[in-house]
Amino acid sequence: MAAMLAVEYVGSMSIHIFSNPADLAAAAATRIADAISATDRTFSLGLAGGGTPAATYRELAQADVDWSRVVMWLGDERWVSHDHEESNTRMARSTLVDHVLGTFLAPDTAFGDPHDAAAHYGETLMTAFHDGRPDIVLLGMGDDGHTASLFPDNDALTAEGVYLATWVESKQTWRLTASMPLLWSAREIIFLVQGESKAGVLAEIIDAGRPYPSQQVAARADNVHWMVDAAAAAQLRSVPR
Ligand code: 6PG
C-alpha cells in the first residue's frame, strides 16, 4: 500500500501527498481501479497527457479491473500523428491502452482542420459518457499552471462547447483540449502532479487560489483530488506535515 504522508481538505478539494512518484502512481492506480470496480455500468476514464501519468498508467494496466466496461479518452492531444513522439495517444497506448481490453476513443488528428477534429471528437465523447458526464478525469499541471491544453491567457479558457481546438502561442502549435465546461461536469477530477518545478504554482493555487487554468478547473468541479509527491508539495503552507 502506498505510503501517504498527509491528506488535507481545502474547500471541496483534497490534497494527497506521497513520499515519491512511485507511491503516487500506485495510489492513483488503486483509486481509479477501485472506482471502476465500485460500479457495474460503463465507466469513462479521461486520460491526462504529458509525462507524469505514465507511471500511473503502467500500474493501472496491471490492476484487476473489468476493462470491458471502461471507455478511455484523452483530456487533450497534440496536433500530431498518433505515432509521433509528442502524441498523447501514443503515450496512452504504450503505457495502458494496448495492455488492457477497454475501449479507447482518440481524437483523429489526421483531419485536415483541428476545429473539425475537435468538434467531431466532442460529439463522439458525449455519446460515451454515462448521463453525459465523464466519470473520472485525470489531469496534469504544467509549471505555468496549465492543465489539459488550457493555457493561461488563452481564449479556450472561456470557450463553450465540449472539445476545442486551440492555438498555443507559447508552443507555436495547435492543441485539442477538453473545454472548461466539460471538465467541470466530471464526477471526479484527479490531478497528478509531481516534481519541484510544480511546487511554486501548486502552492499559489492551493494556498492562495491564484486563478491559473488548473485552479479554474478545480474551483468549479465537484470532487477534486490532488495527488502529489513531496517535491511538488514542498511549498504548501496549508498542509501540516
Ligand atoms: C499535455 C498535457 C499537459 C500536461 C502538463 C504536465 O498534453 O502536455 O495534457 O496538460 O499534463 O503539461 O506535463 P508533465 O506531466 O509532463 O509535467
Q: What span, in angstroms and rounded, lies between the C-alpha atoms of 96 and 38?
A: 20
Is the distance from CB of 36 to CB of 70 less than 8 angstroms?
Answer: yes
State residue 53's pLDDT score: 98
- Per the CB < 8 A criterion, the answer to whether 6 and 218 are in contact is no
CA of 167 to the centre of ligand 1 (A): 16
Q: What is the pLDDT of residues 52-98, one digit of tens each?
A: 999 999 999 999 999 999 999 999 999 999 999 999 999 999 999 99
For the CA of 75, the nearest atom of ligand 1: 9
Residue 1's pLDDT band (cuts 50, 70, 90): low
Percent of the chain with pLDDT over 90: 92
- The arithmetic mean of pLDDT across residues 211-230, rounded, is 97
* Alpha helical stretches, state H, 42-113: 53-61, 88-95
Number of Cα atoms under 13 Å in the Cβ half of residue 107? 34
**88-129 pLDDT per residue, tens:** 999 999 999 999 999 999 999 997 899 999 999 999 999 999
Higher pLDDT, 196 or 111: 196
Phi, psi of 196 (to 5 degrees): -70, -20
pLDDT of 7 reads 78
Q: Using most ligand atoms within 8 A of CB, pick from 57, 73, 76, 163 the residue to mutate for ligand 1.
A: 76
What pLDDT is attached to residue 233? 97
Helices (H), the chain: 21-37, 53-61, 88-95, 114-128, 180-184, 199-208, 213-220
Q: What ligand 1 atom has the least distance to the C-alpha of 147?
A: 10
Which pLDDT does position 236 carry in this prediction?
95
Measured CA to CA, the distance from residue 115 to residue 26 in angstroms comes to: 36
Give the whole-angstrom CA distance, residue 58 versus residue 81: 23
Q: Which stretches of 38-161 are DSSP H helices? A: 53-61, 88-95, 114-128
What global pTM score does this model have? 0.97
DSSP string, 200-211: HHHHHHHHH---
Q: Is 92 helix (H, G, I), strand (E, B) or coil?
A: helix
Residue 12 has a pLDDT of: 79
Q: CA-CA distance, 1 to 23, in Å (whole number)?
A: 8
Q: Residue 4 in contact with residue 17, Cβ under 8 Å?
A: yes
CA 158, 162, 168, 174 dihedral sign is negative
Which CATH code of 3.20.20.370, 3.40.50.300, 3.40.50.1360, 3.40.50.720 fits the domain covering 4-229?
3.40.50.1360
Q: Pick the closest to residue 228 from 49, 24, 22 (CA basis).
A: 24
Calculate the dihedral angle through the C-alpha atoms of 176, 180, 184, 189, rounding to the nearest 10 degrees: 50
**Domain spans, the chain:** 4-229
d(CA 40, ligand 1 centre) in Å: 31
Q: Give the C-alpha distances (Å, rounded to integers) separating 35 from 38, 49, 99, 156.
A: 5, 21, 19, 30
Substitution site in 146, 191, 216, 217 for ligand 1 pocket (most atoms within 8 Å of beta carbon): 146
What per-residue confidence (pLDDT) applies to 105?
A: 98
Q: Which atom of ligand 1 is nearest to the CA of 52?
A: 15
What is the pLDDT, as a whole number, of residue 240? Answer: 61
Residue range 155-194, pLDDT digits in tens: 999 999 999 999 999 999 999 999 999 999 999 999 999 9
* Cα–Cα separations (whole angstroms), residue 190 to 8, 47, 125, 166, 228: 15, 10, 19, 23, 10
